[in-house]
Amino acid sequence: MNTDDNLYKFDATRIELLQTVIVSVMLIVIIDLLTNSIDTTLFEGDFIFYIDMAENGILGNSSLVAPFAYRPLTPFLASLISTFTGISTMMGYQVIAWGGALFTLVSSYALTRVFGGSHRHGLISVIIIGLTFYHLKYLLFDVYRPDHLAYGLTSFAFIALVQKRYWLCIGLSAIGGLTREFTLVPLALLLLQQLVWLVQEGDSRKQIMSRIIVGGGVIVVFVIVPRLFISVESTVVYATLFKPNPTSIETITLPLTSFRRNLNLIFAVLAYTLPILWLGGIHQLKAVWENLGSTRGLVVGYTFFVIGLTLIGGTDLARFVTYLHVPLIIIVTLMLNRKPSVILLIGMFITLLIFNRIPFLLPQEDYNNFIDFYGAYHDRVNPNIILRWQELVVFMFIAGGIRGGIDIVQRDRKAKSRED
């Protein structure tokens, strides 16, 4: 594990990068073949707004709806691809979905290598992210989502932050802010870090102030200004699901007070962190905590920011939780560095394949079945989510049981070797 900030380097060879791309492409092709495409005629979804933005743009568009109107990069790229190639808007989005999937997987590999993982560990991280439901499968199903580039931009922005390449972090976050709000988390961490240093440091105040000013300017330009000057027809305020016409304070507080929604959030977090539950227990997590070194505050801060945004966000809790991919990859990397048993790795891959519904097509004819397919939707608690909880608990017990059995065998072997 790198404990010195100057050692967070990406040192993969060209052959290793080529192998990573090949593995990633193979994974994308396989999952795409196992995934159906969304039928936009069966029900109304967010895709309506993103398709409209790609076909009619933002300027002079009287059909814009917030917050979708503030995520223009993916629709713009889809329109650009469609215009210059002559393909349909849908195919423009499809191209972005394929490219974005590759970008997500390669950035996961890069994050693993930067945090001291080997080439093999990087490929394991690629497979883990590839076998989650929302990173690849769902985005290959609903290609109109704005998230295709967001995961990769967030990962590389965080890498830039730990490498102290602050201007790159600011730039990547600025671009990411045009895709999904979660991509601004590395920038928020940078600003907090710089504010602390401003109080503590004496010699480099000018550099610190310049980063704070530019970083704050990015938030103003890419977050505040669009919300002030882009004219929208209507605004979808999430809190209206709890109460008509909520006040500004209720917009934040109402989502926090729903027990059923918080229960679904817990499910979403546990389900997404299944790889960690397979690779280690309390002792391994304590070792990870120690090995995080100087990045401990950044990893914890990132986690709290994502959970906080998810708490006050929209209905798709399990989808928002996937922006915990940064701490997930880092923790998995540090656990892999401790050389877990191959049995645990195989069990983890099988669990992800089954639990995340990778081999199955998404149901669309019945909207209720669609939103219950993975679970953890809004405050929806019904027999389907109860079954998903049971499935989750079973896999957790299996993981714990196998880990415990391996630990016992390893302790017995060590005891016998001492006797000999």
| Tens digit of each residue's pLDDT (9 = 90 or more) over 87-134 | 999 999 999 999 999 999 999 999 999 999 999 999 999 999 999 999
Q: Which two structure tokens, joined as six digits, stand for 164? A: 């102290």
pLDDT at 7: 67
Task: Show the tokens assigned to 62.
Answer: 């009287």
Q: Residue 65 phi/psi, 5° resolution?
A: -130, 135
Q: What's the rounded Cα separation, in Å, for the pair 100 and 251?
A: 32
Q: How far apart are CA 283 and CA 156, in angstroms?
A: 29
Residue with tokens 């808007």: 89
Q: In 264-353, at which residue ranges do the beta strands (DSSP E only) sit?
A: none
CA distance linking residue 241 with residue 252, whole number of Å: 12
HEC letters along 246-280: CCHHHHHHHHHCCHHHHHHHHHHHHHHCHHHHHHC
Q: How does DSSP assign 303-334, residue by residue?
A: HHHHHHHHHTS-SBHHHHHGGGHHHHHHHHHH
List, in sequence order, every residue forming a beta bridge with 66; answer none if it has no partner. 235
Mean pLDDT of 403-420: 80
What residue ranges do the domains of the chain occupy? 5-236+246-403
pLDDT for 5 = 47
Higher pLDDT, 235 or 363: 363
Question: What average pLDDT score do residues 173-192 get?
Answer: 96
Q: How large is the average pLDDT for residues 36-62?
A: 93
Tell me the H-state helices in 13-60: 14-33, 47-56
* Omega cis (within 30) before 186: no
Q: Where does the pLDDT of residue 201 fall: very low under 50, low under 70, confident under 90, or very high at 90 and above?
A: low
DSSP single-letter state for residue 316:
B
What value does the CA radius of gyration of the chain take, rounded to a whole number of Å?
22
Q: What are phi and psi of 246, to 5 degrees?
A: -70, 155
pTM attached to this predicted model: 0.94
Tokens of 42: 């069966």
Q: Give the pair of three-digit tokens for residue 350.
A: 């099988």
Residue 363 per-residue DSSP state: P
- 234 and 66 in contact (C-beta within 8 Å)? yes
Are the C-beta atoms of residues 130 and 28 closer than 8 Å to each other?
A: yes
E-strand ranges in 3-106 read: 65-66
φ and ψ of 389, to 5 deg: -60, -45
Amino acid at 315: T
Cα 81 to Cα 237: distance, rounded to the nearest angstrom: 31
Please say whether the beta carbons of 313 and 93 come within 8 A. Answer: no
Q: What is the pLDDT of residue 251?
A: 74
CA–CA dist 325, 104 (Å, integer)? 10
SS3 104: helix
Question: Which parts of 196-351 are beta strand (E)?
Answer: 234-235
Residue 389 reports pLDDT greater than 90? yes
SS3 377: strand
Class of residue 76 by CB neighbours under 10 A (exposed 0-12, middle 13-18, buried 19+): middle
Place of tokens 């100057």: 6
**Tens digit of each residue's pLDDT (9 = 90 or more) over 237-266:** 676 667 677 777 777 777 788 899 999 999
User: Any idea what the Cα angle at residue 242 is, between residues 240 and 247, rounded to 5°?
Assistant: 55
Closest CA to 112 of 410, 347, 392, 334: 334
Kindly report which listed range (94-103, 297-306, 342-351, 399-408) carries the lowest average pLDDT score.
Answer: 399-408
* Residue 3: per-residue pLDDT: 44
| Percent helix, strand and coil across the chain, each to the nearest 5 | 70, 0, 25
- What is the C-alpha separation between 318 and 322, in angstroms, rounded? 7
